[in-house]
Chains A and B, each alone.
Chain A
Amino acid sequence: MSNFRIFFPVLMIFSCTFLAQTTGNRAVGVTLPVVTLMDIEPPGNISFNFSAPTEAGNPVIAPVSNTSKWLNYTSAVAAAGLPRRITASINQIIPGIDIKIQAAAASGSGGGVLGTPSAQLTLNTTAQTIISGIRGAYTGNGANNGHRLTLTLSANTYANLSARTNTPVVITYTITE
């Protein structure tokens, strides 16, 4: 009995000490997926019209460049993922006419690792890179956000020019790795 008298309080003390829980946890998880989105803002077609010269001996007058379109994108890549680039191509070439494109550096409300524009290039039916080096980034949405595009038409080989009306040319932009 005397052993019990000593042992019991000691047991109580140690059991409470060792069984007391002073910490605990809960898990938090979040998945951020790969994102690849791109569009041209504002929507709609643009028109270019060459003008006839008013003085004999002068060439046709090229239209002014169009700077109304903005390229927006959102890109999320894995840490080991490849950077993205944006290419452009046209569905047909108009004989005697160059369609040139130049993307400006990104501006507006975007952030992240935005792309670097290429130098002005002449579009053809093969996709060419106009912006490269895009990683985790967003440009902001709508006009005045992203990369302003400058489209310019000019005559190249004058002998190949011919009068034509309403020749639709589709420019295809693609974001890819």
Chain B
Amino acid sequence: MEDYNESFKNNFFFSIIVLMLSISLSQAKAQRTLTVGGNNWTVPIPSITEAGTNYAGTYESAANQILLTASVPLLLGSGKVSVHYEANPTWNSSLILNARRTGDGTTVCVLCSISGGTTYQPIGLADVELFRIVAIATLASYSNIPIQLQLSGVSVTVPAATYNSRIVFTISEI
């Protein structure tokens, strides 16, 4: 009976150690993560009422139109968030999309940093870095990083139609 208890205790503690090791390993192996929240943006274009005039041309979304939550595991140290657009299904290349980071979001990490992307970056068909996160000796997680969008190039010279695109955010290694 005593042997059985001793064996049970050993197995129990070993299981706990295995569990903790598993969690640690999972953190080490985990990828950077990114969650895209906030709202889609339907650009409100005021009607032209005076003959001879054009659209204002440039329109901005709310400062917190898109909210990103990004995390960088301890062992990976850093990550960058990139952005590109995809026509869905039709977009016109004269319509220029830009994005900027209007805040840092929230984090409990004191030694982590978030940088870049506070001025408008043109969004193209290929990924362009918007901002980066650096973790120092801890997990870096930033929630609700506010992103503002801008649309320029709106003109009557662009064929009349409905245009849609997807703004795709990706987190990856620097």
Task: Let me know if A74 and B169 touch, CB within 8 A.
Answer: no
Min C-beta distance of B124 to chain A, whole Å: 14
Determine the residue in chain B with the shortest Cβ distance to A141. Answer: B52
When distances are taken between beta carbons in the complex, the residues of chain B under 8 Å from A110 are 52
Task: Let me know if B53 and A23 touch, CB within 8 A.
Answer: no
Q: Which of A108-141 contact B (CB under 8 A)?
A: 110-113, 136-141
Determine the residue in chain B with the shortest Cβ distance to A146. Answer: B52
Mark contacts of A69-86 with chain B using CB atoms, 8 A cut-off: 1 yes-contact digit, 0 otherwise.
000111111110100000
Task: Let me know if A141 and B51 touch, CB within 8 A.
Answer: yes
- How large, as a class, is the contact surface on chain A? 35 or more
Stretch in B11-19, B106-114, B128-136 with 4+ CB within 8 Å of A: B11-19
Task: Let me know if A22 and B33 touch, CB within 8 A.
Answer: yes
Min C-beta distance of B5 to chain A, whole Å: 16
Determine the residue in chain A with the shortest Cβ distance to B84. Answer: A25
Min C-beta distance of A21 to chain B, whole Å: 5
- Is residue A46 contacting chain B, with contact meaning CB distance below 8 A? no
Mark contacts of A27-39 with chain B using CB atoms, 8 A cut-off: 1 yes-contact digit, 0 otherwise.
1111111110111
Task: Let me know if B160 and A77 touch, CB within 8 A.
Answer: yes
For B, the interface residue count at a CB cutoff of 8 angstroms equals: 62
Task: Let me know if B164 and A28 touch, CB within 8 A.
Answer: yes
- Is residue A157 contacting chain B, with contact meaning CB distance below 8 A? no
Q: Is the contact region of chain B dominated by helix, strand, or loop, or is it mixed?
A: mixed
Task: Let me know if A30 and B45 touch, CB within 8 A.
Answer: yes
Task: Let me know if B32 and A74 touch, CB within 8 A.
Answer: no
Determine the residue in chain B with the shortest Cβ distance to A112. Answer: B157
Interchain residue pairs A-B with the least CB separation, the first 4: A24-B36, A72-B52, A141-B52, A20-B31
Chosen A-B contacts, 24 in total, with CB atoms closer than 8 Å, are A8-B18, A12-B22, A12-B25, A13-B25, A15-B26, A20-B32, A20-B33, A25-B36, A25-B86, A25-B167, A27-B41, A28-B167, A30-B151, A30-B154, A34-B160, A35-B48, A37-B48, A39-B50, A74-B50, A78-B160, A79-B161, A110-B52, A138-B52, A141-B50
**Residues in B lying within 8 Å of A, measured CB to CB:** 11, 14-15, 18-19, 21-23, 25-27, 29-36, 38-43, 45, 47-54, 65-66, 85-86, 88, 95, 97, 149, 151, 154-172
Give 11 A-B pairs besides A25-B36, A142-B52 with Cβ atoms closer than 8 angstroms.
A17-B31, A21-B33, A25-B86, A27-B41, A27-B167, A29-B162, A29-B164, A32-B156, A33-B160, A78-B160, A138-B52
**Residues in A lying within 8 Å of B, measured CB to CB:** 1, 4-5, 8-9, 11-13, 15-17, 20-35, 37-39, 41, 72-79, 81, 110-113, 136-142, 145-146
